[in-house]
Structure 1
Amino acid sequence: MTNNTPPVFLINLDNSTDRLHESQERLAPTGLTFERVSAVYGAKISLDEKNKFYSAELNRTQYHKPLSPGEIGCYMSHLKVLQHIVDNNIKYAVILEDDFKVVADLNSAIASLSDIPFDWDMIKLAEYGNRERPTAYEFKLNDQFNLRIQQKVSAGTCAQAVSLMGAKKILNASIPFGRPVDTDYQHWWEKDIEILTLSPCPLKQDLEFDSTIAAMSKGLQFRSAFWRRKLQQMTQKLNNKKHTQRVIKKYMNLNENRA
């Protein structure tokens, strides 16, 4: 650990002491310390607070079913960390949920963030589950890690680094919200942010247990609006392709200028 190590925040429900202990055990070999952030328990927030952050009107236009209290609480938990980053003028930080496991050199991965030669918003440090999204463009960061632009940003919010600039943009564009947090990040162009992925990812979502954060982010079994969902998926696919091509051109130019 060095003085340049960014803060690490762990989102964890107050009653999920087993997951907190597991997270401590998994980070202990790295020597990294973290600050626990009490997750927002969506079922217990007031109606006024819910209406401040969650818009049923946006939800009807942006998503195919209403969000569950857990999904609302999960999104609010991430916004809580981002607000802390902004309030404390933190250059960048690592944000974890309590379902991660370390699969590579996490210290070197975090240290590599300081090698990025340009301003950035968000760097994914884990893929979603066992899925790896195809790469649209990749460039060398250092001898150990590359940065990837995925054809479609991976779902899930198990582990990511967020810069001060990125936190400000997300907060500005996310209150109120109408989608789950990971789905909203897949519409990154709406927030004027860019999301890259560190390769190889140093962390992985642990599928052997049910994280309390992952569990509360699951939706209720509402009847989905099938055709509305299909239209939303088609629109997202077109927008994602257009904006991904724009970002690829930008980073190809940056990469050529580094050579």
Structure 2
Amino acid sequence: MDALNFKIFVINMPKSKERWEYVKSQIERLGFACARSDGIDVSALGKNELDKYYSCEKNRKTYPKPLTKGEIGCHIAHIKCWEKIVSEDLNFAVVLEDDIFIDGKFPQAIDFIKKHFNKWDFIRLQVETKKRLLYNKEDFGDFSICEFIRNSGCFWGYALNKKTAQTLLSNILPFGITADSNMHIYHKFNIDVKTLLPPVVFARSNNDSDIELFGKRKKQRNFYPFARQVFSISTYFGRICQLIKRDGIKKFILKITKIRKV
């Protein structure tokens, strides 16, 4: 395979210089350059630009609760990175938030995902925040590529290729769901979400994200009773249907009989 053209984007609010310098120094110390990508303050966006990315109507139809300004801005900031992958004709990009700690094995992880570029569309580099049902695991020595029935939340660190970026930009806009919850419906677009184990991106403890600072969620009622449960069940069911369609019922049943939490 020819050399892959990629970048590491770090999403960072303009006022959060300390966070930018902290993440940048980690990445540079590990031998990589990185590009800063602006975090988004939704209150500074014009109506036309906001409407391009976010839909209140879609939010009400597809998600249990109204999104805060911080959640909307966070999702837009990630989408801006995906747009850069396409406009800069990158093979892939690593997208990181600025409230993270990067493990010393990050360079090996980058080499690994480059070497196995044909095995993933979207791969999480971050730690899973909860135990998940492991559907499939491919071991390659120091690292494994895992596939869960459903990933845990948060969106600190991942890589996606150009084709996946194009698919997401063509299908999710305008969005009505948080960035991490939207990942639970990627199966609708035949995007397989994989996870790298062991992870190489971790959250900095006791550190709230500045990216979601604006309009931080207060207690908000669901749009209707049991809305969160309906969302969870429907995304689980959709994911299972996608796996059956992709792998066939026999292979799916075989894998389900060996499923375990990790």
TM superposition score normalised by structure 2 = 0.86
Matches within 5 A, 1:220-231: 220-224=218-222, 225-231=224-230
The 3-state SS of whatever aligns with 1:8 is strand
C-alpha offsets along residues 48-86 of structure 1, whole Å, 9 cap, x if unaligned? 222221111111110111111111111111111101110
CA contact (8 A) 1:127 1:155 kept: no
Aligned equivalents of 1:4 and 1:56: distance in 2? 38
Change (3 A) 1:249 1:19: farther
Aligned equivalents of 1:60 and 1:242: distance in 2? 24
Matches within 5 A, 1:75-154: 75-116=75-116, 118=118, 120-128=120-128, 130-140=129-139, 142-154=140-152
CA contact (8 A) 1:137 1:248 kept: no
| Aligned match for 2:166, one of 165, 168, 176 | 168
Change (3 A) 1:247 1:98: farther
The 3-state SS of whatever aligns with 1:66 is coil
Aligned equivalents of 1:115 and 1:216: distance in 2? 39
The 3-state SS of whatever aligns with 2:43 is helix
Residue segments in structure 2 that go unaligned for 5+ positions in a row: 253-262
Residue segments in structure 1 that go unaligned for 5+ positions in a row: 254-259
Aligned equivalents of 2:5 and 2:89: distance in 1? 15
CA contact (8 A) 1:58 1:177 kept: yes
- 1:24 aligned residue: 24
- 1:182 aligned residue: 180
Read off the aligned partner of 1:239 and give its amino acid letter.
Answer: G
The runs of at least 4 consecutive aligned structure 1 residues that moved more than 6 Å come to none
Change (3 A) 1:4 1:74: same
Aligned equivalents of 1:244 and 1:161: distance in 2? 22
C-alpha offsets along residues 125-166 of structure 1, whole Å, 9 cap, x if unaligned? 0034x43433211012x3211100012123111000010001
Change (3 A) 1:33 1:198: same
Bigger shift: residues 75-84 or 43-52: 43-52
CA contact (8 A) 1:121 1:167 kept: no
1:56 and 2:80 equivalent? Answer: no
Alpha-carbon distance, 1:37 to partner: 0.5
C-alpha offsets along residues 92-120 of structure 1, whole Å, 9 cap, x if unaligned? 11110011212340001001112216253
Q: Number of residue pairs matched?
A: 248
CA contact (8 A) 1:105 1:202 kept: yes
TM superposition score normalised by structure 1 = 0.87
Read off the aligned partner of 1:11 and give its amino acid letter.
Answer: I
Aligned equivalents of 1:6 and 1:227: distance in 2? 42
- 2:47 aligned residue: 47
Bigger shift: residues 209-218 or 146-155: 209-218
The 3-state SS of whatever aligns with 1:153 is coil
Identical positions, percent: 24
Read off the aligned partner of 1:85 and give its amino acid letter.
Answer: I
